[in-house]
Structure 1
Amino acid sequence: MEQNLVCANCGGTLAVDSNGEIGTCIYCGTKRQLVEKVVTVVEHTGKVEVDGIATAASKLTSAYQCLQTGNVEKANRLYKEITELEPQNAYAWWGRYLCEESFAKYYGFRDKYGNSDNITKANQVLEILKYADFAIQYAEEDVRQKYIEETQEYRNFVEMVRNQPAIPPQKKPNKNVIIGIIVAVIILIIIATNL
């Protein structure tokens, strides 16, 4: 027995589409969904990989390759992305340490004002050691020991600087005083040659 579907708007007959999902009133054009759509939700635990989307492991490989080929900026960016995805990834933190160390060495451990004394270098070293410390914190024991050994020289340097007595900065001669002395000497020479 065929059932006639009636338009809720005008009472006219509904024509059903080929999929049997939507009825359209042949008189007023009102559309009505005839079949309720079912949405299935699937819960999943664990890792999901999607083709074409880089995983932390593939980014780690790319970052390492960039670091080895001298593209330190790209390596640092990739390592940073990994630490944001996997904050406990010791290898990514170590990579960030190596990149920051590379930058510091390139700039001679100078600060933004161009200073390069031991205190400035110690401060720079402390900044880059933050990344190494995260790597040490999250690394497995054998790797942790390697990281500690590789950063020990920097740690010793910082400790040495901390233990040095403070030396007051030497005053540079005032430029105006020097100019004044030069002018006075020139005047004396002029006076002496005119006598």
Structure 2
Amino acid sequence: MQHETRARDTKGEIHRVALELFSGQGYEKTSLREIAEQVGITKASLYYHYSSKQDLLRAIIGTFFDDIHQVLLRIETVEWSLESEQELLNAYLDVVIKHRGTGPTVLRDVAAVLAAFGDDLDDLIGRSRAFQLWLAGPDPTPRDRVLAAAAVEVVGAVLSSGLEPAQLGDAELRQTLLEAATAVLSGRRNVPA
């Protein structure tokens, strides 16, 4: 009889439990001891993976920021067109939906996120504004810029909706948000037909 053994994904379990606790009761009210107990490891074992609660928060939210950053960098090499707009909106949506479980933590504990990311967050905000300007289209009017910012916020609605994947699956959520963001962008006046 052959036994198949699978290596335990301890870091993955730590992330999942920490994200549930941070989202449910808040970053400040969650202790590393509580996370370790729910994962089924000792606090010392948790410290082996993460030196502090802030280090753990950076690891969890950092993957979201890294993935968004990669999409936002694409505007530097992709010329605006209706086709490239849809392509980048789809890429942006993919990242936001992939990390939809991170949203409640980001929104609930903004101060902790700010403290954990500092200058990196400033860079991300700057790149997000550049993405919004790119989405506004060629020679945007102030109205076009507001519509582009609104379209990005529509996509971000997945982070604050509180809907679980069982309530609205990724594919349906993706299509809904893409339609909504595209509808908002269709109000721009400067975009060639």
TM-score (norm 2): 0.31
- Find the structure with the greater CA-based Rg: 1
Q: Between the two structures, name the one with larger relative contact order (CA 8 Å, sep ≥ 6).
A: 2
Structure richer in helix, relative to its length: 2
TM-score, reference length from structure 1: 0.31
Would you tell me which structure has more strand in proportion to its own residues? 1
